[in-house]
Amino acid sequence: MVAPVRPAVFVGARLLDGRSPDAIPNGVLVTDANGRIVAAGPAAAVAVPKDAERIDASGLTILPGIIDCHVHLALRLEPVAEQVQRSATDLVVRALGAGREFLEAGVTTIRDAGYMPAGIKRAFASGAFPGPRTQVSCTPLSQTGGHGDGWTPSGAILETEVSDLPPGIADGVDAVRRATRLQIRAGADWIKVMATGGVLSAADSPDASQFTVDEIRAIVAEAKAAGIKGTFAHAEGTAGIKNALRAGITSIEHGDLIDDEGIDLMLERGVPLVPTFNINFALMDEDRVARGDVPPWAIEKMRYLFGKQQVNFRHAVERGVRVVMGTDSFSGMYPPAELAYMGEFGLGPFRAIQAATNHAAELLGLANEVGTLEAGKVADLIAVVGDPLSEPELWRDPARIVLVIQGGRFVADRRGA
C-alpha cells in the first residue's frame, strides 16, 4: 500500500539546503499535494498555508534525502557456501527488501553498481514496493579473469544466472561493444566497467589494470551513442584509474591507489571520485570476518589497501577533486555512515553533505529534481536529531535519522521513538 502524499509545513527546524554551509535556524519548509517543495527558508520569509499539516521540527535538522551513487541492493556479504545457494528469486527478494531498508535509513535515490535487473527499478518507480529512486547498471563489464569474473580456483562460478542480467565478461573491442549493447538493451542507465582488479574477486589483484584504453573507449562510445546516463569505473589500482580516465569515463569508484597524475586527469576532465569507505570498514569488521562473511583473499587485499585509500583520498580532496557519495553498501549495511567517513578523512562535515546531496544529484543527471531544498524540487527530505555540522558522528547512529520523506510521502517517522 503506497502511503499518500501529505502536504505539510515543517516549523522550527534547522535547514541545510545542500548548497550553503550556513544553516537556516528556525526555518520553515512547505510541501504540497504533488510531493514538491513549495518554499524553504527563514520563518520570517516563508508564508505558512493554513490548511497544511503543521509539524514541529524543533531540535531537528532537515536536509535533502541522501543520494548513494554506488550500492548493490541484490548482494550481501556472506560465506561462499551461502552464495552458491542463491537463486534468481532470492536475488530479487533480497533487492526488494534492501530497497526498503535503504529508503527507511534516509537514502532516497541510488545508483546500483551491479547485479540488479532493471525490473527492480520499475517496481520501485511504480510504487508497488517501497524503495529509492533508482538508476541501474545491470551487469558490470569485466575481462576474463577480471574483477567481475565469478570464477574460483575450484572451477565453481560464483554467479547467479538471471534472465534479464546479460553476461558481462568480454575481451577485445568488438566483444565489449556487444556486451555494452546487451546491458543497454536490458535497461541499464549506466555501464559499469571493471577497470582494475578488486578485493572480493579471487583471481586478481587491486593493482592489476583490466581492459585496455581502447576497450574502455569503445564502451564509453556505445554508452554515449545510446544516450544513457554515462559510464563508471571500478578502479582501485593506479594504472587502471588512469586508463579509465583517458578513455572518457564519467566517474571513478573507489580510487584507492590514485596518484598525482590520476588526480591531474580527474581535475582536467571534471570527473568526480566516489570513494566508498563503507565497504572497506565492513570488510575489516572483526565480527564479519569471524562469521566467514569475508573470504580470506579479501581480508589480505583489504589490509593492503585500507590505510592507503584514506591517505590518497585526503590528498585528492586537498587538490580539489570533486567527491560524490557512494558506499558500495550491500543488504544489511548502513549507508549514511559514509558521510562520517568522508568528513573524517578530509572532506569535512558540510562538503560530505554536499557529496551526498547536491553533487550526487548532478552526477546522476537529477539536479533539476532532487539534491537541494528549493522550491519546485521533489520533496525528498530527511530530518536528523541534532546538528550534523557540529556532530558529524550522528551519521553513524541510525536512531538520529528520525524522519524520511520521499516525494512528499512519509516513509519513516521515528520522532516518537
pLDDT digits (tens, 9 = 90+) for 45-56: 998 888 889 999
Catalytic residue set: 192, 328
What phi and psi, each to the nearest 5 degrees, are found at residue 183? -65, -40
23-70 pLDDT tens trace: 999 999 999 999 999 999 999 999 888 888 999 999 999 999 999 999
From the list 52, 162, 172, the residue with the least C-alpha distance to 114 is 162
C-alpha cell at 362: 548532478
pTM of the model: 0.97
What phi and psi, each to the nearest 5 degrees, are found at residue 338? -60, -35
Just give the CATH number of 8-64+371-413: 2.30.40.10
pLDDT surpassing 60 at residue 1: no
Just give the CATH number of 66-363: 3.20.20.140
Q: Mean per-residue pLDDT for 191-209?
A: 94
- Determine how β-strand 251-254 pairs with β-strand 273-274: parallel
Domains of the chain, by residue range, sit at 8-64+371-413, 66-363
Q: Mean per-residue pLDDT for 339-359?
A: 98
Measured distance CA(326)–CA(112) in Å, rounded: 10
What phi and psi, each to the nearest 5 degrees, are found at residue 340? -65, -40
pLDDT surpassing 90 at residue 337: yes
Q: Mean per-residue pLDDT for 240-249?
A: 98
From the list 18, 28, 66, the residue with the least C-alpha distance to 49 is 28
